Amino acid sequence: MTLVGWLQIGLILGLVALTARPLGLYMARVFSGERTLLSPLLGSTERIFYWLAGVEPDHEQGWLAYTSSMLVFSATGFASLYAILRLQAYLPFNPRHFANIPPDLAFNTAISFLTNTNWQAYSGETSMSNFTQMAGLTVHNFLSAATGVALAIAVTRAFARHNAATLGNFWVDITRATLYVFLPFSLLIAVTFIATGVPQTLAGSVDAVTLEGARQVIALGPVASQEAIKQFGTNGGGFFNANAAHPFENPNALANLLQIWALLAVPFGLLVTFGKMVGSEKQGWALFKIAGLVLVGAVVIVYAAESFGNPLLTHLGLDPSGGNMEGKETRFGIALSSLYAVATTATSCGGVNAMMDSFAPLGGLVPMFLMQLGLITPGGVGSGLYGLIVFAIITVFIGGLMVGRTPEFLGKKIESREVKLAILAVLILPLAILGFSAVAAVLPSALASLGNNGPHGLSEILYAYTSAAGNNGSAFAGLNANTPWWNVTTGIAMVLGRFGYVVPVMAMAGSIAAKKKVQASLGTLPTDGGLFVGLMIGVILIVGGLQFLPALALGPMVEHFLMLAGKTF
Amino acid sequence: MLAHIRPAVVLLSLFTLLTGLAYPLAMTGIASTLFPWQAGGSLIQRDGKVVGSAVIGQNFVSAKYFHPRPSATSATDPKDPSKTIAAPYNADNSSGSNLGATSKALIDRVKAGIKVGRAEGWRGPLPADALTTSASGLDPDISPQYALLQAPVVAKARGLDAARLRNLVIAEIQKPWMGFFGEPRVNVLKLNLALDALK
């Protein structure tokens, strides 16, 4: 670790902290239906959309109708994306004449983009046409992000309202999220990306003749427009196979700065939005501190592990001062690769600027653990906020048990029904991750996909299901995930992680919205102070993390000690 | 349920038109006006021919050129489409090695790389990037240390003064933004173009 490295990390995180409040307050205005700077420009488009869709913007929905709208919208998106993938050979903008995508891969990819996971079992530049990338994948980059934010705003309203039967209108929330938040920022980010060297063209590729006379085919495409929403919507599905490590997605350190800012901006900003909408900005900042502290702690460990270099290579004579450079790009170095790895797994982005599979054992453990905590530090756009609220409820419940009082959060009494639903949601992750991993670890057809032997092979399996169930999308990419087993099981894990999680959370929100707000008394545990911040971090690490420790001990931890002992596989 | 279907279908269609076609096509139009060079892939031409992209690495094997980092990219085997063969710097199929820290394949590859490098004339400490593959397999840059390690080898192959090549490398080092943000690096294609332009 170097001081210069920390300065780079500090600059990016400082920018995220600086922009969180203005962005968060802007989003609070957007989702409260207030006028914003962009209303004169977009108001008429918004009204035309509602009119064509038959949506009455003032008609609010209860939790069940809101959730049903979300599920129907997601199912429609799945059907349309699946069709585009299966039929891309007959569709326009296919300059390289890519074939239709086979059924299992199309199933996996459609679910992946619909659930904001953006797990990629395909290689973009060798299989997806420009039409698929734009009208298929880019669209769901926007809409899955808007869906996540809409759900989080609905849960937020549950705490903001008294005795309420409704949580808002799903159609209005996704429309406003897309028109007022994701689209305008994506325009600005995309133009900046292009200026730094990200291509934006309808050409499929260009041929070069190298200085040595060899032919080099350079894949191109409308990269910048997808890259912008990929980051800003914490989607993470790259245009190219190598994702944001590809020089066309992320050409230099400045582009990298924008990449990391863009993927952290909305998840952190939404914590401010939450505080504003529930009438306690301080509560939003408490969640901000919880997420920020875990994230910074994770950066320290990853940066230290990667700076140390690979002792097995140092032994061969490599200068360890360069750090562990296998699977990393020269222009980012160790500091910016470590920060990216943490930022992308602390959110549900899942884009990578270095190959996670080649990280040091402990450097790869931390991203996996961050996802297993439930992707809540600060998590994906929207999904991170409602995940944090679930953990806040579990924390006040545990705090209430310790002192023997009825737990409250933001003036709402937390009772048995809410706690049961919160726990039900939290249990989905270990079920999907450990359940599928246990089967895959003994199934020969699953094991044939492994790219590494020894404990690192187990890490590849664990990472795959962790990433899928957490709706993250990054990978230990040595695993060949494009087989029927992996396409189908990771697809199911993604569905469980998104919908199996959010349906109980929405039911919980419905029951909380219906409660009256009680005044805080002397017996109320304050939920916006340092004590709560510390308690909640503890609950996240123990309730969220403990169940995964045995599996992690057999994978990355044992690999770390075997590496120090000089063992290879 | 029917009440949910109309808004779902209509909004999905409208947003497909807006975010899936209007947005990327508008960006393509803006890009070709404001930043045509970057939008087209930052292509470098010499004598009117495209020799590569400024941001994409390319393979160099001759001792007369500076070499990039090892690359793990592959291509379809022309003899058997179900197999792949090593194809360094295949800009049509980006990929890292994805080998873990305790991988025997990684250790063996680095050992072999050191042997080749030493035989070519590398003297002194071995910078990490000289023997490790990048994440994309298309890294356009190498560290200044790796470029300097190669300078005497290239100088000998070209019959040039080693000190002159050292100075060329130093002149080609791109410094971090504002002195601290990013890593110091040398773009291999630009360095080799500068090398060809010497005399």
Q: How far is it, in rounded angstroms, from Cα A292 to Cα A282? A: 15
The structure tokens listed for A434 are 């450990």
Establish if B91 belongs to a structural domain.
Answer: no
Establish if B94 belongs to a structural domain.
Answer: no
Are residues A54 and B49, on separate chains, in Cβ contact within 8 Å? no
pLDDT at A519: 87
Q: How far is it, in rounded angstroms, from Cα A25 to Cα A71? A: 28
Which residues, including other chains, have CB under 8 Å from residue A347's CB and lie 6 or more apart? A234, A263, A264, A267, A375, A378, A379, A380, A381, A384
Residues B32 and B114 in one domain: no
Residue of B nearest to A355 (CA): B135
- The beta strands (E) that lie in A305-462 are given as 408-409, 412-413
Residues B110 and B167 in one domain: yes
Q: How far is it, in rounded angstroms, from Cα A519 to Cα A420? A: 24
Nearest CB partner across the interface for A197, out of B49, B55, B133: B55
Nearest CB partner across the interface for A310, out of B6, B101, B183: B101
- Chain A residues with CB under 8 Å of B129 CB are 322, 325, 330
Establish if B81 belongs to a structural domain.
Answer: no
Q: How far is it, in rounded angstroms, from Cα A440 to Cα A469? A: 15
Please state the pTM of the whole predicted model: 0.97
pLDDT at A51: 97
pLDDT at B97: 97
Residues B7 and B55 in one domain: no
ipTM of the complex: 0.97
Nearest CB partner across the interface for A211, out of B1, B30, B196: B196
Residues of B (46-85) whose Cβ lies below 8 Å from A: 49-62, 65, 69
Q: Burial of A14 by CB count in 10 Å (0-12 exposed, 13-18 middle, 19+ buried)?
A: exposed
Q: How far is it, in rounded angstroms, from Cα A69 to Cα A147? A: 10
Residues B46 and B123 in one domain: yes
Are residues B91 and A336, on separate chains, in Cβ contact within 8 Å? no
Domain range list for chain A? 3-270
What is chain A's pLDDT, residue by residue, as a tens digit (569 residues)? Answer: 999 999 999 999 999 999 999 999 999 999 999 999 999 999 999 999 999 999 999 999 999 999 999 999 999 999 999 999 999 999 999 999 999 999 999 999 999 999 999 999 999 989 999 999 999 999 999 999 999 999 999 999 999 999 999 999 999 999 999 999 999 999 999 999 999 999 999 999 999 999 999 999 999 999 999 999 999 999 999 999 999 999 999 999 999 999 999 999 999 999 999 999 999 999 999 999 999 999 999 999 999 999 999 999 999 999 999 999 999 999 999 999 999 999 999 999 999 999 999 999 999 999 999 999 999 999 999 999 999 999 999 999 999 998 888 899 999 999 999 999 999 999 999 999 999 999 999 999 999 999 999 999 999 999 999 999 999 999 999 999 999 999 999 999 999 999 999 999 999 999 999 999 998 888 788 999 999 999 999 999 999 999 999 999 999 999 999 999 999 99
Residues B62 and B145 in one domain: yes
Full 3-state SS string of A141-166? HHHHHHHHHHHHHHHHHHHHCCCCCC
Residue of A nearest to B30 (CA): A191
Q: Do A394 and A501 touch, CB atoms closer than 8 A?
A: no
Residues B192 and B168 in one domain: yes
pLDDT digits (tens, 9 = 90+) for B12-68: 999 999 999 999 999 999 999 999 999 999 999 999 999 999 999 999 999 999 999
How many structural domains is chain B composed of?
2
Residue of A nearest to B173 (CA): A331
Residues of A (161-200) whose Cβ lies below 8 Å from B: 171, 174-175, 178, 183, 186-187, 190-191, 194-200
- Chain B residues with CB under 8 Å of A55 CB are 7, 11
Establish if B48 belongs to a structural domain.
Answer: yes
Structural domain that includes position B7: 2-38
pLDDT at A273: 98
- Chain B residues with CB under 8 Å of A327 CB are 96-99, 132-135
Q: Decide the pairing of beta strands A408-409 and B173-174.
A: unpaired
Full 3-state SS string of A481-541? CCCHHHHHHHHHHHHHHHHHHHHHHHHHHHHHHCCCCCCCCCCCCCCCCHHHHHHHHHHHH
Which SS3 state, helix, strand or coil, does residue A316 take? helix
Any alpha helices (H) in A242-378, and if so which ranges?
253-277, 281-307, 311-316, 333-346, 361-372
Of A159, A230, A217, A154, give the one whose Cα is nearest residue A189.
A230
Angle at A323 between CA A322 and CA A324, to 5 degrees: 125
Q: Do A277 and A32 touch, CB atoms closer than 8 A?
A: yes
Residue of A nearest to B72 (CA): A327
- Chain A residues with CB under 8 Å of B96 CB are 242, 245, 327, 355, 357-358, 477
Give chain A's radius of gyration (CA, Å): 23
Q: Does B172 touch chain A (CB under 8 A)?
A: no
Look-up: residue for tokens 């187990």? A458
